[in-house]
Structure 1
Amino acid sequence: MDSPTASQCSFPDLRDVFPGCSSYEDLYNLSIKETDLFWGTLARMSLRWNRDFEHVSNCNMESGLFRWFLGGKLNVSVNCVDRHKEKDPDRVALIWEKDEPGQEERITYGQLYTMMNQVANVLKTHGVKKGDRVAIYMPACPLAVASMLACARIGAVHSVVFAGFSAEALASRINDAEATVVITADQGCQSHFVAKRTGSLVVSSTLDVDLDEAMAKESGECEPAVMDSEDLLFMLYTSGSTGNPKGVVHSQAGYLLYASLTQRLVFDCKEGDIFGCVADIGWITGHSYVVYGPLANGVTTVLFESTPTYPDPGRYWETVQRLKINQFYAAPTAIRLLLKHGDEHVEKYDLGSLRTLGSVGEPINVEAWQWYNKVVGKEKCVVVDTWWQTETGGICISPRPSAPDAEIHPGMPMRPMYGIWPVIVGEKGEELKGNDVTGALCLKKPWPGMARTIYGAHSRFLETYYQPFRGFYFTGDGAIRHKDGYYQITGRMDDVINVTGHRLGTAEVENALGQHPSVAESAVVGYPCNDKGEGIYAYVTLKDGFLAGVKMETELRGIVRQKIAAYAVPDVIQICAGLPKTRSGKIMRRILRKVAADQTENLGDISTLADPAVVKDLIANHQTIKNAGK
């Protein structure tokens, strides 16, 4: 039965929860010094437990073993659906923003409860048991969310694969996860349940099950499995430095607590709000801030199925106006894309419902941040540049939570989240004390939302995150802790160029290039250079209406010289129509590095790119530049 302290998900001020704390600084210091008190109190307050936990944590950063809320029992789907359905079954849980504008569909907590249980019963009928892995390969739609929750309902482990991945990429993830079942809107190679999205697919294989028909035969009630706090909830595959995807594993209670707390506090999310994260559910942002975080908090979350430029570059803003979205969370790539199309696509819509604007996925350059703030937010919204990773489970550094009038600097996440202790580490593994230092960004203290392992490869987990700098979690990113103590992300550590003995973060050069009024987006990489060790190669896309030429390149080099230094000026500037990106918007820098180094004979798998044709254009342009002797 429920613990007597289980919350029905109210939104108390943490200063009331911890009476001795009157500020963000007080709460943060408590979270670092009294970790078990802080997280234990919030876990009992925020989640519904079947059995209370006996110990808050048992963690060791040296060995990479982490356990939270030991002895506690709960069910994630109950926390995300049941308790809100009991309180108000007609409250809208999901707004499905379909591909065509104006065709949204609203799903209440009561309807989601029934849908989730029907899918759960279908899985049980077909032999899926607690601990089995279930691959989900679907577009953003209510049934995909219900399938995730159905797995949590019965204790199965879901592995959501982004619906745009190729068959080869999907197969590798299914095989690595040892999935016994696939839930999809297309055909696959193992036992799978096929849902109707367009109605064009005819289920014909003996391995295929029509999910809609199967659900219609099942009850809308399903007894939730009682799960240990450290049982697996899901695995999510992310790219590795070797090119082999790794299945990052998250457990039950710690992940849910961290996702829900950060969603509420970073975005100032309140009951009754409509939360608009436009990420696909196939990525960790979609898991934490489309599904689990918002639903655990009982708010309405938007499922965005379309693209930011369909039917025109005003799609996001028309959606905000029509749905009256209160918080909007998008990637810098999308923000820069829309900036390129001009202000008129924003200004014709009423965005007065917005209170918070968020940025996620990579460092946002200053110009894009300012456009987001001024043109979209009308300088009335809080703009939060968030830093976190698949492995962290939720936001780790962000301008909020903090005092409402606390300063926010453009283009940096600034402040650590409660329980997060960032440190800057030097090349020899030493912790760099004080401010105004640059180095590797590591985290010094465990937190509930952290990944537990890489599925089937714990040694790889340790080698990647805990062995580079003993006693720390190594993020793989570089950072600056400025003189005021605020953090700025400089980019991946493997995106650092050594030019004539100077270590130069590529993000710093990209930020400078982005301040030229013609630049929509840029990506900078290093390439072999006999004279300097590494040369600097910049790929630049221009906004509509600007033309490439010698004058343009001179101006771009000049602005880098002005903003950084002469040694940071790119040796080569390639003006290009587009950059090679995954379907989630991540720039594939390994491809850019190979093109710059004239090593294009083996580019590896490019099937996961949103537009593989971009690569041919980059190679052709590179050859033109090379032949011209630049």
Structure 2
Amino acid sequence: MAGKSRSPEESRYPEVYAAWTADPAAFWAEAAQAIAWAKPADRVFDPQSGVFGRWFAGAEVNACHNAVDRHVAGGRGDQAAILYDSPVTGTKRRISYAELQDEVAMLAGVLRDLGVARGDRVVLYMPMVPEALFGMLACARLGAVHSVVFGGFAAKELAARIEDATPKVVMAASCGIEPGRTVAYKPLLDEACRLSQHKPDACLILQRPQARADLVEGRDRDWAAAVAAAREAGRRAECVPVAATDPLYVLYTSGTTGKPKGVVRDTGGYLVALAWSMPNLYGIRPGEVYWCASDVGWVVGHSYIVYGPLLHGCTTVLYEGKPVGTPDAGAFWRVIAETGAVALFTAPTALRAVKKEDPEAALMRGHDLSRFRTLFLAGERADPDTVAWAERILGVPVVDHWWQTETGWPIAANPVGLGLLPVKHGSPTVPMPGYDVQVLDEGGKPVPAEQMGTIAIKLPLPPGCLPTLWQQDERFRESYLATFPGYYNTSDAGFLDPDGYVYVMGRTDDIINVAGHRLSTGGMEEVLASHPAVAECAVIGVRDSLKGEAPCGFVVLKAGSARAPDEIERELVALVRERIGPVAAFKIALTVGRLPKTRSGKILRGTMKKIADGEPWTTPPTIDDPLILEEIGEALRARGLG
């Protein structure tokens, strides 16, 4: 079994949060001492610049220097920076900080030879391979702005991002590897370049042996050959300082329609926020192994596969595989044991997949998890049943925390490094320093404790959060700031309890109105997930001529369940009626084989609702498996819906 996490008897969180509240500028000035600046800030916060103000105005810094070069100079050159584990290709690789510095400097030299300079954009279309990290850091080294697009994204979606970011270069792999299939990326990239009005000057292609790509003459370059030539000629690129307020990257939010919504991440504030979070929130020490089982295509991968761990001098685990199926539901435990990871950060949906396949964690046996201290969950609401299961099988703290692509780092969490606060299942615990979290009614007034409303953050947002959208200041204002003047609208619904704990119950459009009663689908999901036969679930509101909306539950049963699905469905209806009451009007529970999800694990409730309501719908570009939507439609039609 895993080792217990040690924490002080009393958390230092109240005094730390109070110190931020009393003097935010002094708090972040102290946190900024963890970063090596080329030039210090003139002002910690300038309220007159940007849409709502800018952090570390006048400062200059380089993200790659902070994540790589300073650790080599400080004696960590031989330490592992990256442990690459790819069960889909049978490959493992250890990359030291010194080796990482060499790879990144040479690749930056290649990009520089292709005309990439400070402020230019580079799009990366990559699987989970070390070269994806090399590419991100090489852009940062030159002061260029990277924009990572999830590998295998549809050509039309990739084209929209190329057109919006106008990259000088696109870096891509020939293919990605999924369990049982190889996904050719190059034809998708070629089609995207054809569709986009903006044409990149060059495409740098990493040829993977599983599917080599044909190169377009005059545009495409072979990645390995270009790096080898740069190394032979000694064309290393050094770090270029940029303004702290300059973008480090642009990351497009999933599921956008029309013109893409590019979240801008500025350099200085992001480095400061991540550097603060690693020891204080995650409780990680330099030199330790930290594993974030996400993808570099998502914000979690940017913050806690790449920049956060490397800024802090940790070893980061890069995993090209799945929680189940590569080869089985014991994959997480194997990687933790083999790498010596002290923490794992993953999505609740990954845990539910493991729990469904191996409910008693039999595949954990034989793996030494003695160094493992904490499991972190984020990306969607962590249902209490899954949290309790993970606590039981692991015997370590399971920390749910909540944040968004837009914020770049957690809004609310249980800060392990400051000493754990009491855990309340269903809550990501308390706001982190920098976040003044309030729950507002439709008129923008704070509501009493335990009353549902829209969760908002009082401006200014802390360092690390988006200062704007890429070349769309007005859209940024309209999307996030206009609804509640003086606040950032998270578009999440929830409440605060009397102890100040945050409860995130779902997106504001997941609050359904049943005969005038505002009800949380998340609360109903909590009840469904508590049934011993249920592996995972989702509740949506479907159109109802009498009540306006009526809840409809979809459940996936645990592997090996021998009971009749209709019997379990009746029990679930009764359970919701018992726990929430007749007011919920919960009458439909549907057993399905799988739930439709994005590649990051978020359940596509909005699309499910459109299918149920008989409205036109399109397959979201982020979906993991489009066929699941047809299964959902069949299940609904069998009940007279959709």
Q: Cα offset for 1:619?
A: 1.2
What secondary structure, in the 3-state scheme, does the structure 2 residue paired with 1:257 have? helix
Gaps of 5+ in 1: 1-14, 16-20
Displacement of 1:348? 4.1
Structure 1 pair 141–440 and aligned structure 2 pair: CA distance change class (3 A): same
Distance change >3 Å, CA 402–CA 444, structure 1 → 2: farther
**In structure 2, which of residues 27, 31, 43 is the aligned counterpart of residue 38 of structure 1?**
27
- Separation in structure 2 between the aligned mates of residue 502 and residue 348 of structure 1, nearest angstrom: 51
- Flag the 1:354–1:220 CA change in 2: closer, same or farther, 3 A: farther
5+ long unaligned stretches in structure 2: 1-7, 175-185, 194-199
Q: Residue 474 of structure 2: which of 427, 436, 459 is its match?
A: 459
Report what 1:622 is aligned to: 636
* Aligned-pair identity (%): 36
- In the other structure, the counterpart of 2:221 is 209
| Residue pairs, 1:260-339, within 5 angstroms | 260-309=275-324, 310-339=326-355
Instruction: Verify: 1:582 aligned to 2:595, yes or no.
Output: no
Give the whole-Å Cα distance in 2 for the aligned partners of 1:621 and 1:369.
29
Structure-1 separation of matches of 2:259 and 2:517: 31
Deviations 1:99-158 (CA, angstroms, capped at 9, x unpaired): 348732110110110111111111110111211110001111111101101111111110
Structure 2 residue aligned with 1:355, among 359, 370, 373?
A: 373
Written as runs of structure 1 = structure 2, the 5 A alignment for 1:13-412 is 23-43=12-32, 45-59=33-47, 64-87=51-74, 88-100=76-88, 103-186=91-174, 187=186, 188=189, 189=193, 190=200, 191-198=202-209, 200-206=211-217, 207-218=219-230, 219=234, 221-239=236-254, 242=257, 245-309=260-324, 310-341=326-357, 342-343=359-360, 344-375=362-393, 377-378=394-395, 381-401=396-416, 404=419, 406-412=421-427
Distance 1:234 1:308 in 2: 28
Deviation string for 1:220-243 (max 9, x for gaps)?
A: 632211100101110001136757
Shift of 1:273: 0.9
Q: Determine the C-alpha separation between the residues in 2 that align with 1:244 and 1:568.
A: 38
Q: Look up the match of 1:3.
A: none
Q: 1:605: Cα distance to partner? A: 3.3
Cα distance in 2 for partners of 1:422, 1:90 equals 42
Query: CA separation in 1, counterparts of 2:211 and 2:60?
Result: 43
Amino acid at match of 1:25: P
Q: CA deviation at 1:74?
A: 1.0
CA distance in 2, matches of 1:423, 1:405: 22
Q: CA deviation at 1:69?
A: 0.7
Corresponding position of 1:10: none
| 2:584 alignment counterpart | 568
Are the aligned partners of 2:12 and 2:419 in contact in 1 as well (CA < 8 Å)?
no
Separation in structure 2 between the aligned mates of residue 233 and residue 263 of structure 1, nearest angstrom: 19
Paired position in structure 2 for 1:488: 503
Shift of 1:335: 0.7
Q: Return 281-290 or 159-168, whichever deviates more.
A: 159-168
Moved more, 245-254 or 195-204: 195-204
Contact between 1:203 and 1:209, CA under 8 Å: does it hold in 2? no
Counterpart-to-counterpart distance in 1, 2:209 and 2:279: 35
Distance 1:199 1:549, change over 3 A: closer
* 1:593 matches 2:605: no
The whole-number CA distance in structure 2 between the counterparts of 1:192 and 1:555 is: 56
Asked if the contact 2:550–2:585 (Cα under 8 Å) also holds between the matched residues in 1, the reply is no
**Structure 2 equivalent of residue 5 of structure 1:** none
Note the alpha carbon deviations across 1:263-293, whole angstroms, 9 max, x for none.
3222110122100100001100000000001
Moved over 4 A (4+): 240-244
Check conservation: 1:32, 1:420, Cα contact below 8 A.
Answer: no
What does residue 625 of structure 2 align with?
Answer: 611
2:453 paired with 1:439? yes
CA-CA distance at 1:217 after TM superposition: 1.5
One-letter amino acid of the structure 1 residue matched with residue 389 of structure 2: W
Length-normalised TM-score, structure 1: 0.92
Instruction: Please provide the CA RMSD for this pair.
Output: 2.0
State the structure with bigger RCO (CA 8 A, min sep 6), 1 or 2: 2
Deviation at 1:170, TM superposition (A): 1.4
Instruction: Tell me how far apart the structure 2 counterparts of residues 474 and 430 of structure 1 sit (CA, whole Å).
Output: 13
Aligned partner of 2:3 in structure 1 is none
Amino acid at match of 1:29: A
Amino acid at match of 1:575: T
> Is contact 1:509-1:564 (8 Å) kept?
yes
* Cα distance per residue 1:147-178 (max 9 Å; x no partner): 10111111111000011312222122111111
> Could you give the per-residue CA deviations for residues 58-83 of structure 1, whole angstroms, max 9, x where no partner exists?
2379x833311111111110000011
Q: How many residues align?
A: 601
Aligned residue in 1 for 2:533: 518
**Alignment CA distance shift 1:338-1:192 (3 Å):** same
User: Quick check: 108-117 or 479-488, which moved more?
Assistant: 479-488
Q: Which amino acid in the other structure matches residue 23 of structure 2?
A: E
In the alignment, the residues of structure 2 paired with residue 430 and residue 185 of structure 1 have an alpha-carbon distance, to the nearest angstrom, of: 50
Q: Deviations over 1:10-68 (max 9, x none)?
A: xxxxx9xxxxx99321111111220000101111x10001111111002379x833311
Alignment correspondent of 1:6: none
SS at match of 1:301: strand
* Distance change >3 Å, CA 530–CA 366, structure 1 → 2: same
Post-superposition offset of 1:481: 0.7
Deviation at residue 202 of structure 1 after TM alignment: 4.4
- Report the CA distance shift for 1:179/1:94 in structure 2 as closer, same or farther (over 3 A): same
Query: Secondary structure at 2:94's aligned position in 1?
Result: strand
Query: Which residue does 1:8 correspond to in 2?
Result: none
Provide the C-alpha distance between the structure 2 equivalents of 1:127 and 1:52, rounded to a whole number of angstroms: 29
CA distance in 1, matches of 2:417, 2:319: 29
The Cα offsets for residues 321-356 of structure 1, whole Å up to 9 and x where unpaired, read as: 111110001001111111111221234422222111
Give the SS at the match of 2:542: strand
Distance between the aligned counterparts of 1:401 and 1:604, measured in 2? 42
How many angstroms apart in 2 are the aligned matches of 1:153 and 1:405?
37
Larger deviation, residues 139-148 vs 339-348? 339-348
